Each structure stands twice: as structure tokens, then as C-alpha cells.
Amino acid sequence: MDGSLPIAVGSAAGAKASRPRLRRALLASGAGAAVLAAGALGLWVLVGQSAPAAPAAGETARAVKDRLVVTITESGEIDAKRSTNVVCQVESTSTIVWVIEEGTVVKQGEKLIELDSADLQERLRTQDMTYKTAKAAFEKADKTYLITESQRESLLSAAGLTVKFALMDFRKYLGTDLSDRVVAQEGKAAFDALVKDPALGGAALQQKRKLQSDIDLAGEELSRAASKVEWTRALKEKGYVTGNELQADELAWKRNQVLLDEAKTAVDLFQVYEFPKAAEKAYTDWLEAKREYDRVDARTKSEVDTAKADRDNRQEALSLEETRLKKTQDQLAKCTITAPQPGMVVYDTTGGRFDRIITIEPGATVRHQQNLIKLPDMSEMVVKVKLHESVVKQAAGEAPAYVTIDALPRDRLTGKVTKIAVMPDRSQWWLNPGLKTYVTEVTLDESPPGLKPGMSAQVEILVDTRQDVLQVPISAVFVDQGFQVVYVKAPTGVETRRVEVGLSNDRMVEIVKGVSEADEVYLYKPAGAEELKVSEEEKKARQEAEWKKAAQDAARLGPPAAPEETPAADRGRSADDPGVKGPSNSGGRPSGRTSSKGERGPPSAPGARPADRGDRP
């Protein structure tokens, strides 16, 4: 072939699997087709055509067996492992009136932020008046309910006495036995026939007896008057009495006759009219008293229920207004934000839309539940980095790491990976939806003086260390017709050899197959190098495998962005060439991991071993 494709990889299988998605990620972010970077690994991929280089002395290297250290290098930011977030708890949008200076060490309860409370103070005054009105309405409704309930008791008591007295009157008139029988028959008995009932008692029996006695007395008086008349007549015939005396006795007899008739008539009137009327009236009065009791019970119960419902509604309204009042008071109190614990004040300026910076200063507008200040626990610090999805598994298992603080470059700190996010970071999805990174925490073993949250740091995570590994410089591996090759210096000239690569770092790559120890390899494609001889079957199989893989990546990530045209002058140039744009890592910062000598990395190998901790781009 006419040129070369020097590609730096972390592992053969990982590079092959991730190359399409990395290309799409960088193209979508505007990096261009000339340079593609796997920022999560701290490695680089240079795609382009390079013209054959002229041989020069010192541009070859020998394949050696030595220790190979594989690391993941990434930039990150210092943070406290445990921090207390101070959030805005005012539900409406608020304005900062005063804020404590960042970096101040505060005590628990010390004021941190004062929010504008003018609207809440006005709302509190209005709500207080509403609450007092609701309280007065409830107290009135409560008293009305108590009065209504007392009136019900009085009316029911009076109605109950009326029922009791009516039943007593009924029993008084007919007697207990007969009245109870009539009550049991629910008034269906014939009242006119009760006068002759043997069970009759009470006032009716007494009246009946009196009337009968009047008849008996009138009959006796009439009999005596009749006897006297006969005696007087006999005496007159003998001349012993005068006619006037006879007339007087006859008049007395007639008077007694009238009295007897009146007594009999009174008995008839009593039995036919007065008794049935009085008995039925007494029963009806008792029955009506019962009905009136039921009416009073229903009416007063309805009035009590209405009064109770009104009182309950007023009580609920009062409770609601009291809750609103307390909430308004609470919101007003929350305008003054104090420190929940001792610590150093750190403004929380993240979380804006599209990851924009949020300003914490007087006059700034804040929203409900917005993080305003962090109070970090400085006793244990971490470095937060974003690792590409292809390498995140390699950092699992508390992998050891070395950390260099940009502000403290002389201190090389140690630590280990303690946390990897379950879900990908979404803070910059709008910039490159196809790029999946996971926020990873590296806990420092110790924290030097002067270390503060927000400082930039470089993290080197130790992935693997292999002893006695056959390796060559990463710039000695090229791609020819889709296969990794090296150019070996032989007595007869240049020999093109197909190789299988394994692990690699930013300088060296493991050669699994194709090169022997002490073989001298070129760090460039020398003039006169022959193309790799590949059979048509291998080419076809290779092409089909690449198409299948590309289709799988396209289905997962969606259609790739259109690549930018690489200027011809930039093709084949080193990644550290000032004329070529360098790649950016997942955190948006230059990875800074291209070789200072312009080394070109090895292409991916189709036969990468699973033991090489793959899934690296």
C-alpha cells in the first residue's frame, strides 16, 4: 500500500471495537477526520495517508522483553468524598441579597446566604389576616354547634316528657291493662266496645260507675216518691191531707221520674259518645306526642349535623390557613440560610442548563432546590474523572492510581478507584450524544496541606502490569489492508510482517505474534517496503467483519456525523504537530498524552486475547 495508518490502542480487540464510535464521537464534537482521540485511555489515533519516509540512521528499534505497565490516564478535579450540600429551600424564585465569601471557614449555625424576603413578608401579613378571619369564623361555628346541640337535648327532653305524660293520661283513663292492650294492638281496637270490657279501669270505669249509681239513686227516689203519692192519695180520701199535699207529692214523683230518665240518658251518652271519644283522644294524644318526638329528633339532628358540618368546614379551613401561615413563616425563615455543620464554604456553580456555570453572588437569581454551597469534609478527598465506556470495566475492583495535582506538581499522591457511576454522565450529552463516559472517584490515601476542592489533577490508573513481555515502540506498528504490520530490518532488505498485538501504553505495545526478540523494526514505513500479501478470502472475511461491526455500532449510536475533509498537508502528520488539532478527552480538556517524539500507535488486531482485559478503544 502507499501509506500507513498508525493507530495507538489499549488492546487489540478493544481498539477494533471502539474505533467507529470514537470516530463518530470526535466528529460530532468537531475534532475533524484528521485526528481521532480516545481520551478516556489517554491514547491517540491518527488516521491518514503518509508518504514513504526515507531511511535515516537511528529510526529503528529492537523488540525486547521487559515489563509492560498499562495505565488509564485522565484529567480530573479534586473534591471531598463527603460533602454537605446547602440548597435553596425557598419554593419561589429568589434573589441573593448577601452571601458569605467563598473559602471562609464557618461554624455550625453561622449565616451563609441571605435571600430577598420582601415578597414573603407581604405574603405573611396577608396570610396572618386570613388566618385570624378563619379562626374567628371557626370559633363562631363551634359555639353555634354547641348551642344547637344543647337545644336539641332540651327539645328532645321536653318531647319525651310529653310522650310520657300522654301515655300516663291514656293509662289513667282506661287503666293500665286495657291501655297496654290497645297500645299493643296499635289502636286497631274498637274504642266504643271497650266500655263494656271487663279490663276497663281508670277514670273511665270510675265515671261509668258514677253514672250507673246515679241511675240507681234516681230509681230509688222515684220508687219512694211513687209510694208517697199512693199513701197521700189514701189519706186524702179519708180526709187527713189536703189536695195541695197530694199535688206536692205527685210533683216530687214526676221530678224523680225526670231525674231517672236523665241518669239513663247520661249513661247512654257516656257509652256511645263520651267514652269512645275520650279514650281515642287519649290514645291519639299519646301517638301524636310520639310523632312529635320523632319530628323534633329528626329536625334537631339535622340542625346539629348542619352546625357540625359548618364547624368542621371552618376547622378545616382554619387548619389549612394555619398550615399556609406556618409554611409562609417557614419560607421566610429559610430566606436566611445557615451552615448545617462546620466546614469551608465552596460555591456550587454547577448544574446549569447545558452544564453552564451558575453564579453565586448578590443579585443572582436562584431557584427552589438549587445547590448553592458545599461544605466539604476535608478529612478525605477524591479525584473525580470521566472514563470512557470502553475502559470503565478495567478500572473496577479498587484499581490503584497515581495522582498529580496541577497546583502541587511536586507531590505524587497515591489512591485507588472507590466508585464508578452506574449510569453514563449526561452533563454534555447535547455536545456529543454518542460519547458515553462514567464519573469515577479515586480516593486519595492522604491529603497534603493546601489541597482544596476544585483543583485540577492528573490521574494515572494502573490497569495491568506484565513481566517479560515482548514489545516494540507503539510507532513501529502500521496498518496494511486492514491488518497490523511491522517493517523488520533484514539482511536482504525490508521485510513486511503481519503481527498480532496485545496490551499497550502510550509508548510500547505488546507483540503477541509475528516478531522475535532482538528483531530490529522500523519506526516509519521505509522506502521499498512491500505490501502485505493477503489472500482474497482473508480480504473478504476482513471486510465483512468490519461491515458487520460498523452496522452494529451504527444501530447502537445512530447515523454518524459527516466527517470533515482532512487537508492533504496534514495527512500523515504527528498528533503533536502544531498544524494538527489535538483531540480532547471526555472531560473537554486536552488529553496531553501524545508522544513527544511523534510516535505512532499500533493498529487493532483481529486476534486480541480476552485475557488482555479488552473493551479498550
As a whole number of angstroms, the distance between CA 585 and CA 582 comes to 10
278 and 179 Cβ atoms separated by less than 8 Å = no
* pLDDT per residue as tens digits for the range 381-436: 999 999 999 889 888 889 999 999 999 988 899 999 999 999 999 877 778 888 89
As a whole number of angstroms, the distance between CA 48 and CA 577 comes to 14
pLDDT value of residue 514: 93
pLDDT value of residue 557: 54
CA terminus-to-terminus distance, the chain: 25
Closest Cα partner for 601 from 617, 613, 587?
617
- The SS3 call for residue 9 is coil
pLDDT value of residue 298: 97
Radius of gyration (Cα) for the chain, nearest Å?
Answer: 58
Give the chain's residues under pLDDT 70.
Answer: 1-58, 187, 351-356, 553, 556-617
Main-chain dihedrals φ then ψ at residue 604, nearest 5 degrees: -70, 150
pLDDT value of residue 340: 94
Q: Which residues contact 181 (CB under 8 A, 6 or more apart)?
A: 189, 199
pLDDT value of residue 432: 84
pLDDT value of residue 570: 40
As a whole number of angstroms, the distance between CA 93 and CA 107 comes to 27
Q: What is the DSSP letter of 274?
A: I
| In the block, residue with C-alpha cell 301515655 | 167
CA distances for 550 relative to 22, 543, 544, 545, 553, angstroms: 12, 10, 10, 9, 5
CA distances for 111 relative to 59, 121, 145, 360, angstroms: 66, 19, 49, 15
45 and 7 Cβ atoms separated by less than 8 Å = yes
Per-residue cell: 300:
334537631
Per-residue cell: 184:
299493643
CA contacts within 13 A on the Cβ side of 588: 9
CB neighbour burial string for 569-597, b if at least 16 within 10 angstroms, e if fewer: ebbbbbbeeeebbbbbbbbeeebebbbee
Per-residue cell: 194:
271497650
Which helix (H) or strand (E) segment holds residue 209: the answer is: helix 202-237
For every residue of 320-365, DSSP letters joined together read HHHHHHHHHHHHHHTTEEE-SS-EE-EE-----GGGPPPP-STT-E
Q: What is the DSSP letter of 604?
A: P
3-state secondary structure 534-581: CCHHHHHHHHHHHHHHHHHHHHHHCCCCCCCCCCHHHCCCCCCCCCCC
* pLDDT per residue as tens digits for the range 347-375: 988 755 555 678 899 999 999 999 999 99
The angle formed by the CA atoms of residues 452, 453 and 459, to the nearest 5 degrees, is: 95
Per-residue cell: 270:
257516656
pLDDT value of residue 5: 29
Per-residue cell: 165:
305524660
Which helix (H) or strand (E) segment holds residue 258: the answer is: helix 243-269
CATH number of 122-332: 1.10.287
Per-residue cell: 210:
258514677
Per-residue cell: 476:
513501529
Sign of CA dihedral 384, 456, 586, 428: positive
| In the block, residue with C-alpha cell 443572582 | 364
In the chain, ranges of CATH 1.10.287 domains:
122-332
pTM of the entire predicted model: 0.54
387 and 412 Cβ atoms separated by less than 8 Å = no
Q: Which residues contact 505 (CB under 8 A, 6 or more apart)?
A: 68, 69, 70, 71, 474
515 and 81 Cβ atoms separated by less than 8 Å = no
CB neighbour burial string for 534-565, b if at least 16 within 10 angstroms, e if fewer: eeeebeeeeeeeeeeeeeebeeebeebbeeee
pLDDT value of residue 552: 77
Q: What is the DSSP letter of 7?
A: B
- The SS3 call for residue 182 is helix
pLDDT value of residue 606: 33
What residues pair up with 461 in beta bridges, in sequence order? 72, 401
Task: For residue 393, give the amino acid letter.
Answer: K
**Helix-helix angle 176-184:275-333, to 10 degrees:** 60
Task: For residue 89, give the amino acid letter.
Answer: Q
